[in-house]
């Protein structure tokens, strides 16, 4: 069977997902949710979604009566994910939600609970967790190829353009670079090292307080400590370009990914040479894999269930607390 997906929020990233889904074997677009009638018509015509499966933000609860929709992929500004996913669950549909899962760990947990209660799946759009070069590095680390892992470095960032975009609006974004791009370094540290952090410390630099208002972080440097003694040193920025690099160091070898999280191709090499897995379109691979998780109960090698997103939000909150207090924060991700 094929996973029949309604896309919610027809913006820039949804466009990329929609195009990528044209190459999916297991997933297809069967519904659209948007506040803009002209987009519903344009996208509906293009992706052959009938008018009866086009909804707006006021009436999308009616998907509950639509047998052509199995899941909704929420691709709206961060602060909206919480209420939208809870409504999707209440309609009895599976939810796929973009990162960050929500704008707080508390809201994220409420989403996890709502989906559990409704007996639907909640998956987070962490596309790197399906990317072949990334998975190969993870596999090599798991075989012991790199020995005992001691250090991870993650650099993620770009210069955020238009100052009026929702990404620079705390109410819609929940924060700044950390919520949007720093989250890749956090998430990457966890799958590259293969452990969850037990402490963080962080420092913020703000050079442009007009563009990056109170609560919207421009650049944050942070460190994380892991149970084995491994440490991570990361940088998240909305004001530095070309930051897309992971480095993992063990006592017998290393892995480097550069680019590490961009849309691709992802390039990886270890102390032994290039990884060189062929490029796949991330969102195509992700949606086929998610169809298999939802329809067949397949367990992905790197989990993408909602709880992973809640844990990343707990880490982000601790990073923000450390920036404020100047103190190291201990973490218990449960």
Which residues belong to the active site?
99, 184
Q: Which of 2, 13, 267, 302 binds ligand NAD (CB under 6 A)?
A: 13
Q: Report how far residue 179's alpha carbon sits from residue 64's, in angstroms, rounded to the nearest whole number.
A: 31
Closest approach of ligand NAD to the CB of residue 19, in Å: 13
Count the residues of the shown chain that bind ligand NAD, applying the rule CB under 6 A.
19
Q: Which of 180, 196, 204, 317 binds ligand NAD (CB under 6 A)?
A: 180
Nearer to ligand NAD, 13 or 158 (CB): 13
- 3-state SS, one letter per residue, for the chain: CCEEEEEECCCHHHHHHHHHHCCCCCEEEEEEECCCHHHHHHHHHHHCCCHHHEECCCCHHHHHHCCCCCEEEECCCHHHHHHHHHHHHHCCCEEEECCCCCCCHHHHHHHHHHHHHCCCCEEECCHHHHCHHHHHHHHHHHHCCCCCEEEEEEEEECCCCCCCCHHHCHHHHCCCHHHHHHHHHHHHHHHHHCCCCCEEEEEEECCCCCCCCCCCCCEEEEEEECCCCCEEEEEEECCCCCEEEEEEEECCCEEEECCCCCCCCCCEEECCEECCCCCCCHHHHHHHHHHHHHHHCCCCCCCCEHHHHHHHHHHHHHHHHHHHHCCCEECCCC
Q: Backbone phi, then psi, for 19, in 5-degree steps?
A: -65, -45
Nearer to ligand NAD, 76 or 284 (CB): 76
**Binding segment toward ligand NAD, per CB under 6 A, in 10-18, 65-73, 142-150, 297-305:** 10-18
Nearer to ligand NAD, 172 or 240 (CB): 172
Q: Does 174 bind ligand NAD (CB under 6 A)?
A: no
Q: Does 264 bind ligand NAD (CB under 6 A)?
A: no
Nearer to ligand NAD, 88 or 149 (CB): 88
Q: Report how far residue 70's alpha carbon sits from residue 95's, in angstroms, rounded to the nearest whole number.
A: 9
**Binding segment toward ligand NAD, per CB under 6 A, in 9-17, 206-214, 223-231, 247-255:** 9-17
Closest approach of ligand NAD to the CB of residue 12, in Å: 3
The tokens for 270 are: 């270890």
Q: Does 306 bind ligand NAD (CB under 6 A)?
A: no
Q: Does 127 bind ligand NAD (CB under 6 A)?
A: yes
Q: Does 98 bind ligand NAD (CB under 6 A)?
A: yes
Q: Does 35 bind ligand NAD (CB under 6 A)?
A: yes
Q: Which of 4, 5, 9, 218 binds ligand NAD (CB under 6 A)?
A: 9
Which residue number is nearest to ligand NAD in terms of Cβ? 11
The tokens for 249 are: 């160091």
Q: Does 182 bind ligand NAD (CB under 6 A)?
A: no
**Binding segment toward ligand NAD, per CB under 6 A, in 73-81, 131-139, 217-225, 249-257:** 73-81
Closest approach of ligand NAD to the CB of residue 286, in Å: 9
Closest approach of ligand NAD to the CB of residue 325, in Å: 27
Binding residues for ligand NAD, rule: CB under 6 A, are 9-14, 35, 75-78, 80, 98-99, 125, 127, 166, 172, 180
């Amino acid at each position: 069977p094929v996973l029949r997906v309604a896309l919610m929020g027809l913006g820039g990233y949804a466009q990329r997902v929609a195009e990528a889904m044209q190459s999916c074997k297991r997933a297809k677009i069967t519904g659209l949710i948007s506040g803009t009638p002209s987009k519903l018509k344009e996208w509906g015509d293009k992706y052959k979604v009938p008018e009866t499966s086009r909804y707006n933000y006021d009436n999308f609860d009616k998907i509950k009566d639509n047998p052509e929709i199995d899941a909704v992929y929420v691709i709206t500004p961060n602060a909206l994910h919480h209420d939208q996913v809870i409504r999707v669950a209440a309609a009895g549909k599976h939810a796929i939600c973009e990162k960050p899962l929500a704008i707080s760990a508390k809201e994220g947990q409420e989403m996890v609970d709502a989906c559990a209660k409704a007996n639907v799946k909640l998956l987070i759009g962490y596309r790197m967790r399906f990317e072949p070069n990334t998975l190969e590095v993870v596999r090599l680390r798991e075989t012991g190829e790199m020995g005992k892992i001691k250090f991870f470095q993650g650099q993620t960032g770009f210069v955020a353009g238009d100052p009026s975009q929702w990404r620079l609006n705390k109410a819609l974004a929940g924060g700044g670079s950390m919520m949007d791009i720093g989250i890749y370094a956090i998430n990457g540290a966890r799958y590259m090292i293969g452990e969850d952090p037990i402490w963080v410390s962080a420092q913020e630099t703000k050079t442009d307080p007009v563009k990056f208002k109170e609560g919207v972080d421009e650049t944050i440097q942070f460190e994380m400590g892991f149970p084995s003694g491994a440490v991570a040193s990361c940088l998240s920025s909305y004001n530095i370009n070309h930051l897309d690099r992971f480095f993992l160091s063990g006592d017998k070898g290393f892995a480097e990914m550069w680019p590490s999280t961009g849309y691709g191709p992802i390039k990886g090499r270890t102390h032994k040479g290039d990884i060189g897995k062929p490029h796949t379109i991330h969102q195509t691979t992700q949606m086929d894999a998610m169809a298999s998780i939802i329809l067949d109960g397949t367990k992905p090698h790197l989990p993408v269930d909602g709880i992973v997103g809640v844990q990343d939000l707990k880490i982000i909150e601790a990073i923000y607390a450390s920036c404020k207090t100047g103190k190291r924060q201990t973490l218990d991700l449960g």
